[in-house]
Structure 1
């Protein structure tokens, strides 16, 4: 099973770096969010629309492994895929790769729970079965 990987490119901005021109470590978590947002957008659905349907995806856990630094003006690719899904939880996995040399810079995961606006857990398979099915298909490697 090969999950569908969504890629999104961005260029490292000066404001994302420290005095040495190296990306400050917390910015990778922001890039994970960019990858996740663009992944959802690939379903012709935005986070805003998901929230308007009464579905929130609060973060419960995050892990990150730094391999090599990204630097100012590097073009990087954020590769995002569904690592695990149940009707109540969703885990995304990420790779951040420098485009110029295909060097793997960072890997990580974020775990989320499906909740309503009151942050009570919900079963996405019941609340939004079409969204759940799409995410499950992405995990399984289909469109």
Structure 2
């Protein structure tokens, strides 16, 4: 399979920073997740599937995340999140994520690098059972391969 990739840009807003104007670490994870959701939108897939008659719906919880913060990002910085698929397992996708500050002179600085795994699951809408890992549907694999 070829390496699928997707990018999205953001402008750092004041509420995403601390009193010094530096981005709080949790916001990096929000941007990564929003980029993954934009990828799903791009291929026409639901991030959270509709509940069926047995009240089960699909989703993609994170089962592992490992990132390294390289440089801080500040209020009003423009950033780009690059998301690439490193590997597709039977029930999970391993993503490579790199984040860059886009400078006004056209250069860019890497601010974060890492990888994470999202696992394909069925959720119980009654919340009586834990999520159940399922194989990634073939229809999804066809769509993601086309990116």
TM-score calculated relative to the size of structure 2? 0.82
Greater than 3 Å deviation, 4+ residue runs: none
Which has a greater percent of strand?
A: 2
TM-score calculated relative to the size of structure 1? 0.84
SS of 1:110's partner is strand
Residue 129, structure 1, aligned to residue 138, structure 2: yes
Unaligned runs of 5+ in 1: none
Q: How many residues align?
A: 133
Distance 1:2 1:43 in 2: 16
Residue 79, structure 1, aligned to residue 85, structure 2: no
Please provide the CA RMSD for this pair.
1.7
**1:108 CA drift (Å):** 2.1
Please say which of residues 112-121 and 66-75 is displaced more in the overlay.
Answer: 112-121
Which has a greater percent of helix?
A: 1
Unaligned runs of 5+ in 2: 52-56, 125-130
**1:104 CA drift (Å):** 0.6
**1:71 CA drift (Å):** 0.6
Distance 1:4 1:123 in 2: 19
